Amino acid sequence: MKEIVNNSAALIEFLKKMIIDVLKLEDITVEEIGDDTPLFRKGLGLDSLDALELVVAIEKNFNVIIEDENVGKKAFESVSALAVFIQEEYGE
């Protein structure tokens, strides 16, 4: 996983696939998710239940803890923001 975390483009691609798989977004492709598209509200339209599922997946895959709602809001602004958060917090 370290190789993916250290490669921003690979990490963003992995996160897009993970979002689609974890949330079972069968009607959307990786190419349709912009790197800076908001994940919630007007962007992908995810909700709080989706956020919980993503938190679990991120903690499992990257050994990264999203401590509270404020951290989560910043991390989940977009796929790019999530990638930066993971790169800053990643622990093997």
Q: Can you name the residues that pair with 46 across neighbouring β-strands?
A: 40
Residue pLDDT, tens place only, 23-75: 999 899 999 999 999 998 888 889 989 999 999 999 999 999 998 889 999 99
Cβ(80)–Cβ(11) below 8 Å: no
Answer yes or no: is pLDDT of 87 > 80.
yes
85, 64 Cβ separation under 8 angstroms: yes
CATH code for residues 2-89: 1.10.1200.10
With both helix axes pointing from N to C terminus, report the angle between 79-89 and 48-62 in degrees, rounded to the nearest 10. 40
User: And the tokens for 27?
Assistant: 């009607």
Burial 21-34, CB ≥16 within 10 A → b, else e = ebbebeeeeeeebe
Q: Is the pLDDT of residue 92 over 80?
A: no
Residue 41, pLDDT score: 80
Q: Which of 81, 83, 80 is nearest to 35 (CA)?
A: 80
pLDDT in tens, 8-19: 999 999 999 999
